Structure 1
Amino acid sequence: MADPFPQDRAHSTVAFVLAGGQGSRLSPLTDARSKPAVPVAGQYRLIDVVLSNLANSGLRDVWIVEQYRPFTLNQHLAGGRPWDLDGTRHGLRLLPPAEGRTEEGFAAGNGHALHQQMPLLEAFGADTVVVLSADHLYQLDLRPALEQHRARGSELTVVTTQTDEDPSRFGVVQVDADHTVTRYDHKPDDPDGSLVATEIFIYDVAALGQVTRRLTAERGDADGASLGDYGESIVPHFVDHRRTHAYRLDGYWRDVGTVDAYFKAHMELLDGSGLDLDRPGWPLITNPKHAPPAWIDTRATVSASLVTAGCRIRGEVEHSVVGPGVVVEAGARVSRSVLLGDCVVPAGAELESVIADVGAKIPAGRSGRTKPGPGNITVLVPADRGPASADETTGS
Structure 2
Amino acid sequence: MKNCISVILGGGRGTRLFPLTKNRAKPAVPLGGKYRLIDVAISNCLHAGLEKIFVLTQFNSASLNRHIFRTYRFSEFSQGFIEILPAELSSDNTDWYQGTADAVRQNIKNFQFPSLENFVILGGDQLYRMDLRHLLRTHQRNGADISIAVIPVSAEKISRFGIVRIGQNKEIIDYREKPQAASSISDMVGDRSLLPEGMERPLPTPFYWASMGIYIMKKNVLEHLLLELKGDDFEKDIIPHALKNFQIYAFLFTGYWEDLGIISSFYRANLAMISNPAPINLYNNLTTVYTRHRHLPPSLAINTKIEGGLLAAGSKLINCNIKHSVVGIRCIIHSGAVIEDSILMGADYFDTEPKLTSPLDTYVPIGIGGGSIIRRAIIDKNVRMGQNVVIDNTNGVPHLDSDLYYIREGIIVIPKNTVIPDNFRIETHPDYIESQSPVTHS
TM-score per shorter chain, which class? 0.7 to 0.9
The structure with higher relative contact order (CA 8 Å, sep 6+) is 1
Could you say which residue in structure 2 is the equivalent of 1:376?
Answer: 410
On the 8 A contact 1:66/1:96 being kept in 2, the answer is yes
From 95, 101, 112, the equivalent of 1:111 is: 101
Matches within 5 A, 1:288-307: 288-297=293-302, 299-307=303-311
Identity of aligned residues (%): 26
RMSD: 2.4
The structure-2 alpha-carbon separation of the partners of 1:128 and 1:239, relative to structure 1 and needing over 3 Å to count, comes to same
On the 8 A contact 1:167/1:187 being kept in 2, the answer is yes
Q: Return the alpha-carbon distance in structure 1 between the equivalents of residues 295 and 409 of structure 2.
A: 34
Q: Which moves more between the two structures, 65-74 or 51-60?
A: 65-74
From 262, 265, 269, the equivalent of 1:261 is: 265
Matches within 5 A, 1:284-363: 284-297=289-302, 299-314=303-318, 315-342=320-347, 343-362=366-385
From 123, 146, 149, the equivalent of 2:136 is: 146
Q: Specify the structure having the higher radius of gyration (Cα).
A: 2
Q: Return the alpha-carbon distance in structure 2 between the equivalents of residues 269 and 372 of structure 1.
A: 26
Could you say which residue in structure 2 is the equivalent of 1:244?
Answer: 248
Shift of 1:125: 4.7
Could you say which residue in structure 2 is the equivalent of 1:282?
Answer: 287
Could you say which residue in structure 1 is the equivalent of 2:221?
Answer: 207
Q: Return the alpha-carbon distance in structure 2 between the equivalents of residues 49 and 18 of structure 1.
A: 13
Shift of 1:68: 1.2
Match of 2:286, SS?
A: coil
Shift of 1:384: 6.6
Q: Which moves more between the two structures, 360-369 or 109-118?
A: 360-369
The structure-2 alpha-carbon separation of the partners of 1:209 and 1:116, relative to structure 1 and needing over 3 Å to count, comes to same
Match of 2:306, SS?
A: strand
Could you say which residue in structure 2 is the equivalent of 1:367?
Answer: 391
Matches within 5 A, 1:1-396: 11-78=2-69, 81=72, 84=74, 89-103=79-93, 105-122=95-112, 125-163=115-153, 166-191=157-182, 192=185, 193=189, 194-216=208-230, 227-272=231-276, 273-297=278-302, 299-314=303-318, 315-342=320-347, 343-362=366-385, 364-369=388-393, 375-381=409-415, 382-383=417-418
> 1:96-146 CA deviation, whole Å, 9 max, x = no partner?
122334146411111111211223324555210011001110001111111
The structure-2 alpha-carbon separation of the partners of 1:115 and 1:290, relative to structure 1 and needing over 3 Å to count, comes to same
**Shift >3 Å, 4+ stretches:** 84-90, 122-125, 369-374
Q: Return the alpha-carbon distance in structure 2 between the equivalents of residues 296 and 348 of structure 1.
A: 16
Shift of 1:283: 0.8
On the 8 A contact 2:332/2:367 being kept in 1, the answer is yes
On the 8 A contact 1:368/1:377 being kept in 2, the answer is no
On the 8 A contact 1:65/1:96 being kept in 2, the answer is yes
Query: Number of residues paired by the alignment?
Result: 367
The structure-2 alpha-carbon separation of the partners of 1:237 and 1:316, relative to structure 1 and needing over 3 Å to count, comes to same
The structure-2 alpha-carbon separation of the partners of 1:117 and 1:200, relative to structure 1 and needing over 3 Å to count, comes to same
The structure-2 alpha-carbon separation of the partners of 1:124 and 1:70, relative to structure 1 and needing over 3 Å to count, comes to farther
* Amino acid across the alignment from 1:195: W
The structure-2 alpha-carbon separation of the partners of 1:29 and 1:301, relative to structure 1 and needing over 3 Å to count, comes to same
Gaps of at least 5 residues in structure 1 are 1-9, 217-226
> 1:24-50 CA deviation, whole Å, 9 max, x = no partner?
110000101111111000010000100
Shift of 1:337: 0.2
* Amino acid across the alignment from 1:309: A
Q: Return the alpha-carbon distance in structure 1 between the equivalents of residues 212 and 38 of structure 2.
A: 15
On the 8 A contact 2:317/2:333 being kept in 1, the answer is yes
Match of 1:232, SS?
A: helix
Q: Return the alpha-carbon distance in structure 2 between the equivalents of residues 310 and 39 of structure 1.
A: 16
The structure-2 alpha-carbon separation of the partners of 1:44 and 1:105, relative to structure 1 and needing over 3 Å to count, comes to same
Gaps of at least 5 residues in structure 2 are 190-207, 348-365, 399-407, 421-439
Shift of 1:80: 5.9
Q: Return the alpha-carbon distance in structure 2 between the equivalents of residues 290 and 339 of structure 1.
A: 20
Could you say which residue in structure 1 is the equivalent of 2:200?
Answer: none
Match of 1:270, SS?
A: coil
Shift of 1:280: 4.3
Q: TM-score, normalised by structure 1?
A: 0.86
